[in-house]
Amino acid sequence: MFARLAAVDETSVSLRIDGEPIEARPGDTVAAALLAAGFQHCRTSAVSGALRAPYCMMGVCFDCLVNIDGVGNRQSCLVPVREGMKVELQRGKRAPVA
């Protein structure tokens, strides 16, 4: 569905997704980095556990929710990658902070 264009800039940004190191392009969103790294989904729904993946890529649908640096329910399509970022796939409903 999504395909990368040829690289213009050869620099990269290092981040971790569920502990796995990946390289992204500067200017990528977290959702774009997930898709480029081969992730098939980024969260499971809170009710049925169905797999959900980035869909609209512009912040309308909320299917791309992930945990970023310990903060849950972040729309990965709206957050640019940055060096050292820690992303976790979101599984079900995020538990409230105690």
DSSP 6: P
Q: Which residues of 24-63 are buried (b: 16+ CB within 10 A; e: fewer)?
A: bbeebbbbbbbbbeebeebbbeeeeeeebebeebeeeeeb
Evaluated on CA atoms 10, 14, 17, 62, the torsion sign reads: negative
The helix or strand, by DSSP H or E, that contains position 95, with its residue range, turns out to be none
Domains and CATH numbers, the chain: 13-91 (3.10.20.440)
| pLDDT in single tens digits along all 98 residues of the chain | 677 778 777 899 999 999 999 999 999 999 999 999 999 999 999 889 999 999 999 999 999 999 999 999 999 999 999 999 999 999 887 655 55
Neighbour tally for 66: CB within 10 Å? 25
DSSP 80: B
pTM for the structure as a whole: 0.87
